[in-house]
Structures are given as structure tokens and as C-alpha cells.
């Protein structure tokens, strides 16, 4: 794998300046810092983008005071959260209360590390990539359940229980929709899934109607996984205050808030990788240009994110019984039938 020139330069300089073991450690630290910086910047930008989209859809003004066009509004909000006092309740289980916010943010960061932003930008290309992503992303709900229970607040507990039921339910549809595409590619490794699309085209086109159905189910279930409208009953403001993070403030609240937006980015990034060719350009016109690969990837991810934000500001919130009925009576049976149809199509060689 050919590295970009600036990365090759840093790599060679480190190995010329220090022993190999220390050079490897420094490289790993630099990679971690780079991912953390992207994590923070992407989260702030997505918050600002959400406000712009909400204002545009609702025909009102968005952020327009702090900085030109309000571009520094989220930075001001971040500084406010950093400076706010970390409050808590006397009756809370303080160990679990303090530990809970780290589960969603750490799981999101781990998933981010296996995504392929280009042919050269991927921290770890694990050979069981899809299985790894599904496994690690399911850890985040533990932080929600712990935060709601440890807060010793009835509203937080109700929100946490709703989230547990919802996330566990919709994980089935997310996993099965991705499994449908794994049947088509024959691999769990993200880089190989992208390579399959280099020669045969995007998987959403290769797999015909079952691939389109899998994408639609994935987007519905992925939106539910991130607790976004119309599946945001876990933090329904009119009923539960703020839901599972009612008792959190300052940076602990910011961890939950940031993880929600990064999870939206991850859902979109996985959809782009599996269904729309990842960093590959349409028709392969600029695949050989290294610096354009992450541009194409982020452009596609941005399109999916805009679709998810459109969902939020268009559809009304569902009741808990409607949410579970949608999953268990409709999405899950459709997913199971869809996998069988995809297997038949592959067996008969009808793929593109």
C-alpha cells in the first residue's frame, strides 16, 4: 500500500531519529491524536450543520451571531461545556455514573479507526471488519444503560430502558442488512469489499432489488440505533427532560452529545463503504488520485448525513409500541426474506 508523501516523510524521519520500537510507539500516538482531532472537529461541524439544516427546513434563521454565519457557534458551545461545573446527584452510584459516558465515545472511536477513508488512510484493516464494527458499536448502549441507572433518576432510568430495548432490537436489522451484502461480496474485510466494487460497480447496483431493500432497512435501523428522530423516544424532551443524560452536565454531557453525532457519521460511513463504493469515485474516473479519495468518501458520507438530518426535521416521533412493531413485525421478517432472495440471486449468477 503506497502512503501519501507527507506520511512517508514522517515515517522515514521517525525511524532515522530513534530506535524502531520507539518510532512505532510515536507513530501510534500520532495516529491516535489524528483520529481524536478528527473526532472532535467532525462532531462540532455536524452540530453546526444540524442547526443550519433545521433552520433551512423550518424557514427560520440558524446560527448567525458568533463568527461569520455562526461558524464559531459550536466552538463557543464547546468552550461553555468545558468550563461548566460537573454536577451530580447525592444518591447516584458515582463510580458507574462517572464511568458511563466513556462507553459510547470510546466505542465510536474504535469503530472510526477501522473505516477506510482512502486506500492509504485506515488505522487498522481487520479481516473481520463488518463483524468487528457490529460487535464494538453494540458496546455503546452499555454506557446509556449505566448512565440512566446510576443517575438514580426515574426519568433517566426510563430513557435508558427505552434505549436498551430499541438499540438491541434494531441491531438485528442492521446486522442482517449488512450480512445481505456480505453474501454478495464474500468477505467481511472493508478493503476487500471496496475492491469488489472497483471492478463490478457499487454493491447497491450489483445486488439489484435485494441490495436496495437492504440499504433502506439499514438506513431505518441505523437511524434508530443513533436514537435520532423519529426514534428519539429515549430522550423525549416533553416526557423525560433529556432522557438518560438528564443528570449529566459539562463534559460528561458533551461525551453523550458528541457520541450521538459521531455515531451518525459512522452509520453514514458504513453505508457508503458497503453500498456506494467507499472512497471510489463514480465510474472510476479519479481512483488513481490519492488526495481525491478521502474527498469522494466524505462527500458521499455528507450526502447520507443530510438524508438522516432530513428524516429528523420531517417525521414525527413514534411511540415505543410503534417503534418495536416496526422492527419485529416488519423490518426483521423482510430482512430474513431478503437474505434468502440475495442468496438465490448469487447462486443463479444474476448479479451484475
What is the pLDDT confidence band of residue 111, given thresholds at 50, 70 and 90? very high
202: left (phi over 0), alpha (psi -120 to 50) or beta: beta
Find cell 448469487 and name the residue: 346
Q: Is the pLDDT of residue 15 over 50?
A: yes
Q: Are residues 254 and 300 in the same domain?
A: yes
288 lies in the same domain as 224: yes
Question: How far is Cα 234 from Cα 245, in angstroms, rounded to an integer?
Answer: 10
Same domain for 177 and 245, yes or no, is yes
In a domain? residue 69: no
Q: Which of 147-161, 224-238, 309-323 has the lowest mean pLDDT?
A: 224-238
Residue 70 lies in a domain: no
Q: Are residues 45 and 161 in the same domain?
A: no
pLDDT for position 299: 95
Is residue 242 over pLDDT 80? no
Q: Contact 63/73 with Cβ under 8 angstroms?
A: yes
Tell me, yes or no, whether 83 lies in a domain.
no
- As a whole number, mean pLDDT of residues 294-307 equals 95
Q: Which domain holds residue 165?
A: 90-348
Residue among 188, 187, 206, 210 at smallest CA distance from 197? 206
Residue 291 has what pLDDT?
84
C-alpha 127: how far from chain center: 20
10 Å CB burial of residue 79 (0-12, 13-18, 19+) is exposed
Query: In the chain, what percentage of residues exceed pLDDT 70?
Result: 95
Torsion of CA 324, 325, 331, 332, to 10 degrees: 80
* pLDDT tens-place string over residues 34-57: 899 999 899 999 999 999 999 999
Ranges 148-152, 171-175, 231-235, 236-240: which has the least confidence = 236-240
Whether the predicted pLDDT of 1 surpasses 50 = no
153 and 221 together in one domain: yes
Is 79 inside a domain boundary? no
The neighbour count for residue 9, using CB atoms within 10 Å, is: 11
Domain assignment present for residue 71? The answer is no
Domain total in the chain? 2
| 312 Cβ contact partners less than 8 Å away, ≥ 6 residues apart | 50, 54, 228, 229, 230
Residue 2 DSSP label: P
Task: State whether 327 and 268 are in the same domain.
Answer: yes
Spatial separation of the C-alpha atoms in residues 242 and 337, rounded to whole Å: 38
Annotate 43-67 with b (16+ C-beta within 10 A) or e (fewer): bbebbbbbeebebeeeeeebbeeee
Is the domain of 279 the same as that of 341?
Answer: yes
**Per-residue pLDDT tens for 133-174?**
999 998 988 998 999 999 988 888 888 888 888 988 999 999
Q: Is residue 141 part of a domain?
A: yes
Buried b (16+ CB within 10 A) or exposed e, 172-210: bbbbbbbbbbbbbbebbbbbebbbbbeeebbbbbbbbeb
Tell me the three cell numbers of residue 346: 448469487
Q: How far apart are CA 344 and CA 210, in angstroms?
A: 11
| Shared domain check, 165 and 28 | no
Residues 203/278, Cβ–Cβ less than 8 Å: no
pLDDT band at 283 (very low <50, low <70, confident <90, very high): confident
Residues 210 and 342 sit within 8 Å (Cβ to Cβ): yes
95 and 58 inside one domain: no
Residues 292 and 168 in one domain: yes
One domain for residues 102 and 210: yes
pLDDT tens digits for 174-184? Answer: 999 999 999 99
Verify that 225 and 321 share a domain, yes or no: yes
Q: Is residue 125 part of a domain?
A: yes
- Among 150, 152, 134, smallest CA distance to 100 is for 150
Domain for residue 81, yes or no? no
Amino acid at each position: 500500500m503506497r502512503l501519501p508523501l507527507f506520511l512517508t516523510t514522517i515515517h522515514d524521519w521517525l525511524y532515522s531519529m530513534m530506535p524502531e520500537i520507539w518510532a512505532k510507539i510515536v507513530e501510534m500516538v500520532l495516529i491516535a491524536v489524528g483520529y481524536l482531532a478528527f473526532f472532535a472537529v467532525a462532531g462540532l461541524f455536524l452540530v453546526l450543520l444540524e442547526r443550519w439544516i433545521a433552520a433551512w427546513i423550518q424557514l427560520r434563521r440558524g446560527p448567525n451571531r458568533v463568527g461569520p454565519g455562526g461558524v464559531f457557534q459550536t466552538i463557543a458551545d464547546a468552550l461553555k461545556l468545558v468550563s461548566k461545573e460537573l454536577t451530580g446527584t447525592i444518591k447516584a452510584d458515582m463510580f458507574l455514573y462517572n464511568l458511563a459516558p466513556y462507553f459510547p465515545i470510546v466505542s465510536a472511536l474504535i469503530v472510526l479507526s477501522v473505516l477506510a477513508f482512502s486506500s492509504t488512510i485506515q488505522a487498522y484493516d481487520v479481516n473481520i471488519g463488518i463483524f468487528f464494527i457490529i460487535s464494538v458499536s453494540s458496546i455503546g448502549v452499555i454506557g446509556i444503560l449505566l448512565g440512566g441507572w446510576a443517575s438514580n433518576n426515574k426519568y433517566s432510568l426510563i430513557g435508558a430502558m427505552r434505549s436498551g430495548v430499541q438499540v438491541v432490537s434494531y441491531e438485528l436489522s442492521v446486522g442482517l442488512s449488512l450480512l445481505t451484502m456480505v453474501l454478495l461480496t464474500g468477505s467481511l474485510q472493508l478493503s476487500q469489499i471496496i475492491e469488489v466494487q472497483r471492478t463490478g460497480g457499487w454493491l447497491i447496483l450489483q445486488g439489484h432489488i435485494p441490495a436496495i431493500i437492504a440499504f433502506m432497512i439499514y438506513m431505518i435501523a441505523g437511524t434508530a440505533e443513533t436514537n435520532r428522530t423519529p426514534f428519539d423516544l429515549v430522550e423525549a424532551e416533553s416526557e423525560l427532560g433529556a432522557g438518560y443524560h438528564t443528570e449529566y452536565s459539562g463534559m460528561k454531557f458533551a461525551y453523550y452529545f458528541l457520541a450521538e453525532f459521531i455515531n451518525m457519521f459512522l452509520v453514514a460511513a458504513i453505508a457508503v463503504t458497503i453500498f456506494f463504493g467507499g472512497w471510489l469515485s463514480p465510474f472510476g474516473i479519479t481512483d488513481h488520485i490519492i488526495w481525491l479519495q478521502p474527498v469522494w468518501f466524505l462527500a458521499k458520507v455528507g450526502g447520507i448525513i443530510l438524508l438522516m438530518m432530513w428524516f429528523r426535521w420531517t417525521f414525527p416521533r413514534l411511540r415505543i409500541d410503534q417503534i418495536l412493531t416496526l422492527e419485529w413485525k416488519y423490518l426483521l421478517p423482510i430482512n430474513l426474506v431478503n437474505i434468502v432472495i440475495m442468496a438465490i440471486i448469487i447462486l443463479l449468477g444474476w448479479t451484475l
